[in-house]
Amino acid sequence: MPFSHFSSDPEVIRRRLRARLTLAEFAALCFQVALLLVFVSFHAQNLYPPHDYDNYTNTLYGNFSLYYYAYWFLPIFGFLERLPGEAGYILWSLANIAAIFFAARVFGGTGALALFSYQMIYTLFYGQITGILVGGLALCWWGMANRRYHLAGLGLLIACTKYQLGLPLGLALWLLSDLSWRERARVLIVPAVIALMSLVIYPLWPLAVLNTVRSNPPNNDGSLSVWRWLGAAALVFWLPPLLLRLPRERRFVALAAAAALALPYYQQADLLALYVLPVGWLPLLGNLGYLYPVFGWGALQGLWIIPAIAYLMALGLPLLRRFVAPVTPPPVS
Q: According to the model, what pLDDT value does residue 328 have?
A: 41
Report the SS3 class of residue 223.
strand
- Measured in degrees and rounded to the nearest 5, phi and psi for residue 95 equal -65, -40
* 112 is a domain residue: yes
Residue 57's pLDDT is: 97
Of 263, 271, 249, 268, which Cα lies nearest the Cα of 315?
249
19 closest CA partner among 11, 31, 27, 29: 11
In a domain, 137, yes or no: yes
Spans in the chain with pLDDT lower than 50: 320-321, 323-333
pLDDT at 35: 97
Sign of CA dihedral 238, 242, 245, 247: positive
DSSP structure string for 169-225: HHHHHHHHSS--HHHHHHHTHHHHHHHHHHHHHSTTHHHHHHHHHHHSPPP-TTB--
Task: Please give the tally of structural domains in the chain.
Answer: 1
Residue 329 covered by a domain: no
pLDDT of residue 215: 94
Q: What is the pLDDT, as a whole number, of residue 316? A: 80
pLDDT at residue 234, rounded to an integer: 95
| CA-derived radius of gyration, the chain | 21
Q: How far is 52 from 130, CA to CA, in rounded Å? A: 11
Q: According to the model, what pLDDT value does residue 330 have?
A: 42
Q: What is the dihedral of CA 9, 13, 15, 18, to 10 degrees?
A: -160
* Residue 124 maps to a domain: yes
In the prediction, which pLDDT does 243 show? 94
The pLDDT, as a whole number, for residue 46 is 87
The range of the structural domain enclosing residue 55 comes to: 3-320
The answer to whether position 166 is within a domain reads yes
pLDDT value at position 323? 47
Residue 328 resides in a domain = no
Q: Widest CA span of the chain, in angstroms?
A: 87
Residue-wise pLDDT tens digits, 183-222: 999 999 999 999 999 999 999 999 999 999 999 998 889 9
Reported as type and span, the H/E element at residue 140 is helix 130-145
Q: How far apart are CA 57 and CA 55, in angstroms?
A: 6
HEC string of 254-310 equals HHHHHHHHHCCCCEHHHHHHHHCCCCCCHHHHHHHHHHHHHHCHHHHHHHHHHHHHH
Q: Closest Cα to residue 269, out of 143, 165, 185? A: 165
pTM over 0.95: no
